[in-house]
Amino acid sequence: MTGLLVSVRSAAEAEIALAGGADLIDIKEPRRGSLGAADPAVWNEVRHVVAGRRPVSVALGELADLRTDNLALAAGLSFAKVGLAGCAQSGDWMARWTKAMAMLPAGVGPVLAAYADWQSARSPEPALLLPLASRLRSPLLLVDTFDKSAGGLLDHVGIDELAALSEQAARHQMRLVLAGSLDEAAIRRLAPLRPAYFAVRGAACGGQRTQAVQLDRVKRLVEVVQTSVCASAQEVA
Its sign, for the CA torsion 122, 128, 134, 138, is positive
pTM of the model: 0.94
What is the model's pLDDT at position 232?
Answer: 83
pLDDT of res. 236: 58
Q: What is the pLDDT of residues 97-127, one digit of tens each?
A: 889 999 999 999 999 899 999 999 999 988 8
Q: Catalogue all structural domains in the chain, each as residue range(s) with its CATH number.
A: 3-236 (3.20.20.70)
Per-residue HEC secondary structure of the chain comes to CCEEEEEECCHHHHHHHHHHCCCEEEECCHHHCCCCCCCHHHHHHHHHHHCCCCCEEEEEEEHHHCCHHHHHHHCCCCEEEEECCCCCCCCCHHHHHHHHHCCCCCCCEEEEEEECCHHHHCCCCHHHHHHHHHHCCCCEEEEECCCCCCCCHHHCCCHHHHHHHHHHHHHCCCEEEECCCCCHHHHHHHHHHCCCEEEECHHHHCCCCCCCCCHHHHHHHHHHHHHHHHHHHHHHC
Q: Are 127 and 161 in contact (CB under 8 A)?
A: no
* pLDDT on residue 126: 87
| Positions of the chain with pLDDT under 50 | 237
Predicted pLDDT at 129: 87
Give the model's pLDDT for residue 216: 97
